[in-house]
Amino acid sequence: MTRTALITGATSGFGAAAVHRFAQAGWRVIATGRRAERLQPLVDAYGPERVHAAVFDVRDSVAMEAALAALPAGFADIDLLVNNAGLAQGTAPAQSASLEDWRTMIDTNVTALVTLTHRLLPQLVARKGAIINISSVAGVYPYPGGNAYGGTKAFVSQFSLGLRSDLHGSGVRVTTIEPGMAETEFTVVRTHGDQAASDKLYTGANPMTADDIAEQIFWVASLPAHLNINRLEVMPVSQSFAGFQVARD
Ligand code: NDP
Ligand code: 8X3
């Protein structure tokens, strides 16, 4: 039986790579994002019976609902929700961070994620489906400048565990994937368009790739139905932990 995945944030990075991974494996994929011109090539590559583009801003619940209501018949029964769309905005310490940046992260990483999850839960329960939420190591380990971004990802991880608890006995699987550093458009977005800063961060660091994370998403989704990966933390070998800091007089 052909299964259907809805993958948010499919115009770039992890989401785009995941669309390729699932479509190549024979899944039907609903690929979402704001940049329609990035989604159309995915439809062209696999055909409209395999990939459906749903263009909307995840923060716009009306547009989200319209896109879901307009799903073609072959894509209407969703077995897997991959909540991947998200972003960091800024690296400034909290005391000088932009409140607008914080609100953008909360609206996207938290409010939109719970809205879409709430909308799809009834059919995921009916179909004994699965949810894979993309969190981050930033939600587990604090670092300077991580402030609200880390807070949103901590929410994603804890919300996912709460879903696991509530969905007990339903057969629905819930997984949080918590990646470390991966080279995507993430840092260009975080720095409001500073490609040089992004290149500087990743050069020589052997970061993970979008394909690395897409493979983890696909692996989690492909496990036997009686197995649930609760959380999956994955980093490049080049990244690890630093110690506590102490301010002295
Ligand atoms: P990218 O910037 O490459 O991709 C982000 C995706 O999210 C894009 O497709 C973008 O689509 C979508 N998106 C962002 N805001 C919105 C919105 N308002 N409405 C609809 N879609 C939106 O980054 P990554 O692939 O790296 O990030 C994917 C996820 O992984 C994010 O949740 C991120 O926090 C997380 N993550 C990333 C890590 C990294 O190091 N790269 C590490 C850990 C977690 P569009 O702009 O076209 O709407
Ligand atoms: C992104 C990973 O380490 O840049 O979620 O915060 S990190």
pLDDT in tens, 96-139: 999 999 999 999 999 999 999 999 999 999 999 999 999 999 99
- What pLDDT is attached to residue 1? 86
12 found inside a domain: yes
Q: Which two tokens stand for residue 167?
A: 């969905």
Question: Can you say how many angstroms the Cα of residue 35 is from the centroid of all Cα atoms in its chain?
Answer: 16
Q: Which ligand is nearest to the CA of 13?
A: 1
Under 8 Å between Cβ of 111 and 125: no
241 found inside a domain: no
- What pLDDT is attached to residue 226? 97
CB 138 near ligand 2, within 6 Å: yes
242 found inside a domain: no
Q: Which of 6, 7, 12, 187 to mutate to test the pocket of ligand 1 (most atoms within 8 A of CB)?
A: 12
- What pLDDT is attached to residue 249? 95
* Total domains, the chain: 1
Q: Which residues contact 77 (CB under 8 A, 6 or more apart)?
A: 4, 123, 127
Which stretches of the chain are assigned E, i.e. beta strand? 4-7, 28-33, 51-55, 80-83, 130-134, 173-179, 231-234
d(CA 216, ligand 2 centre) in Å: 17
Closest C-alpha among 70, 18, 76 to residue 42: 18
Q: Can you give 5-38 as a three-state secondary structure string? A: EEECCCCCHHHHHHHHHHHHCCCEEEEEECCHHH
CATH number at residue 111: 3.40.50.720
d(CA 129, ligand 1 centre) in Å: 23
What torsion, rounded to 10 degrees, do the Cα atoms 209, 214, 216, 219 define? -150
Q: Which of 46, 141, 149, 202 is catalytic?
A: 149
d(CA 105, ligand 2 centre) in Å: 13
123 found inside a domain: yes
CB 167 near ligand 2, within 6 Å: no
129 found inside a domain: yes
| Residue nearest (by alpha carbon) to ligand 2 atom 5 | 136
The ranges of the chain with pLDDT < 70 are none
Interatomic CA distance for residues 81 and 120, integer angstroms: 8
d(CA 223, ligand 1 centre) in Å: 25
Strands 80-83 and 130-134: parallel
244 found inside a domain: no
| Residue nearest (by alpha carbon) to ligand 2 atom 4 | 181
Q: Which residues contact 13 (CB under 8 A, 6 or more apart)?
A: 182, 184, 185, 186, 210
Q: Which residues contact 185 (CB under 8 A, 6 or more apart)?
A: 12, 13, 198
CB 137 near ligand 2, within 6 Å: yes
Q: Which ligand is nearest to the CA of 143?
A: 2
- What pLDDT is attached to residue 42? 98
46 is catalytic: no
* Residue range(s) defining the domain that contains residue 158: 4-234
Interatomic CA distance for residues 75 and 217, integer angstroms: 20
Interatomic CA distance for residues 36 and 34, integer angstroms: 6
d(CA 115, ligand 2 centre) in Å: 23
